[in-house]
A and B are shown apart, each in its own frame.
Chain A
Amino acid sequence: MAEPSDGLRPRFLLWLSVRFMTLLLQNLVNGLLLGGLYVCIAIGFSLIWGVLNIINLLHGSIIVLGSYIAYYAFTMFGISPFLAPLFVIPMMFAFGYGLQLAVLNRVVDKPVLITLTLTFGLDLILNNFMLAAFTANFRRVVFKDPFETLDLYGVIIPVDRVVAMALALVLTLAFYLLLNSSRIGRAIVAVRNDRDAAVLMGVNVKQIYAVTFGVGAAFAGAAGCLLSVVFPISPMSSGLYLGKAFVICVLGGLGSIGGALIGGLALGVIESMGVMLAGPEHSVLTGFLVLLAVLAIKPTGLAGKRGYE
Chain B
Amino acid sequence: MLASLAASFPARPLPRIGVGVLIAVALGLLIALPLGLDNYYMRLATTVLMYCVLAWSWNFIGGFVGYPSFGIAAFFGFGAYAGAILLSAKIIPFWLSPILAAAGCFAVAVVIGMPILRLRGHYFAVASLGLGEVFRELAMSWTALTGGGMGINLPPMRPAFGTEAQTFYYAMLILALVTLGTTIVVARSRLGVAFRCIRQNEEAANMIGIDATRSKIIAFAFSAALPGAAGAIYASWVGYIDPSDVFDILNSVKAPVMVLLGGTGTIFGPAIGALIYLVFEEFVTHHLLQFHAGMLGIIIVALVLFMPHGLLETLRRRKQGQA
Give residues in A with beta carbon < 8 Å to B: 49, 53, 55, 103, 106-107, 110-114, 116-118, 120-125, 127-129, 131-132, 239, 243, 246, 250, 281-282, 284-285, 288, 291-292, 295-296, 299-301, 308-309
Contacts and interface: CB of A to CB of B under 8 A. Distances in A.
Given A114-B304, A122-B297, A243-B133, 7 more contacts: A110-B1, A112-B122, A116-B125, A132-B290, A282-B137, A282-B141, A301-B123
B32 interface: no
Nearest to B126: A246
Which of A107, A239, A292, A296 has the most CB atoms of chain B within a 10 A radius of its CB?
Answer: A292
Which of B68, B303, B304 has the most CB atoms of chain A within a 10 A radius of its CB?
Answer: B304
Contact of A296 (B115, B290, B293, B297): B115
Overall SS of chain A's interface? helix
B199 to A, nearest CB: 11
A118 B300 contact: yes
Contacts of B116: 292, 295
B294 interface: yes
A299 B249 CA distance: 24
A120 B115 contact: no
Contacts of B293: 124, 127-128, 131
Contacts of A120: 253, 297, 300
Contact of B308 (A114, A128, A295): A114
A113 B2 contact: yes
A129 B294 contact: yes
A282 B133 CA distance: 12
Contacts of B2: 111, 113
The 8 A-B pairs with the shortest beta carbon distances in the complex, nearest first, are: A124-B297, A121-B300, A128-B294, A125-B297, A113-B68, A121-B301, A309-B121, A121-B297
B297 A123 contact: yes
Contacts, number: 121
A184 B315 CA distance: 42
Contacts of A127: 293-294
A116 B291 contact: no
Nearest to A300: B123
Contacts of A132: 290-291, 294
26 contacts: A106-B305, A112-B68, A113-B2, A113-B256, A114-B1, A116-B125, A118-B300, A121-B304, A122-B301, A123-B297, A124-B296, A127-B293, A128-B291, A128-B293, A131-B293, A132-B290, A132-B294, A239-B133, A246-B130, A282-B137, A285-B137, A288-B130, A288-B134, A291-B130, A295-B115, A295-B119
Contacts of B297: 120-125, 128
Overall SS of chain B's interface? helix
B305 A118 contact: yes
Contacts of A49: 122
Which of A117, A132, A239, A284 has the most CB atoms of chain B within a 10 A radius of its CB?
Answer: A117
Given A122-B301, A128-B297, A117 B253 contact: yes
Which of A55, A113, A129, A131 has the most CB atoms of chain B within a 10 A radius of its CB?
Answer: A113
B141 A117 contact: no
Nearest to A111: B2
B301 A250 contact: no
Contacts of A250: 123
B127 interface: yes
A291 B68 CA distance: 19
A7 B141 CA distance: 44
A118 B119 contact: no
A116 B68 contact: yes
Given A112-B68, A284-B133, A295 B123 contact: yes
A208 to B, nearest CB: 20
Contacts of A300: 123
Which of B125, B140, B294, B298 has the most CB atoms of chain A within a 10 A radius of its CB?
Answer: B294
Nearest to B306: A106
Contacts of B130: 243, 246, 288, 291
Interface string B124-167: 01110010011001101100000000000000000000000000
A11 to B, nearest CB: 39
